[in-house]
Amino acid sequence: MSTPSLPLLFCAVLFASQEASPIPLQAEESAKVELHKRNLGVMGTDLEIKVIDVDTDKAEKALDAAIAEIQRVEDMMTTWR
């Protein structure tokens, strides 16, 4: 499997940073879902990542993975540090 090109990665990061419309949930499901979010400074800006899931461990792992990937791309591209 090849690594996506940088423009594709940036599109994914930019898309992920936009407010998305909430997905309608059944009444009993909406009582279980939780919003998990992290804020960090990357690439000269502030970034907030949000994950909505019923499973806290799964949501935290998704946040960790997203942050790791964003930091990987930043490490590849940043020359001013």
- What pLDDT does 24 receive? 56
What is the pLDDT at residue 63? 96
Q: How far apart are CA 64 and CA 19, in angstroms?
A: 20
Q: What is the pLDDT of residue 79?
A: 77
The pTM for the full model equals 0.61
pLDDT digits (tens, 9 = 90+) for 12-44: 444 444 444 455 555 555 558 899 999 999 888
**CA 47 to chain CA mean position, Å:** 9
36 and 54 Cβ atoms separated by less than 8 Å: no
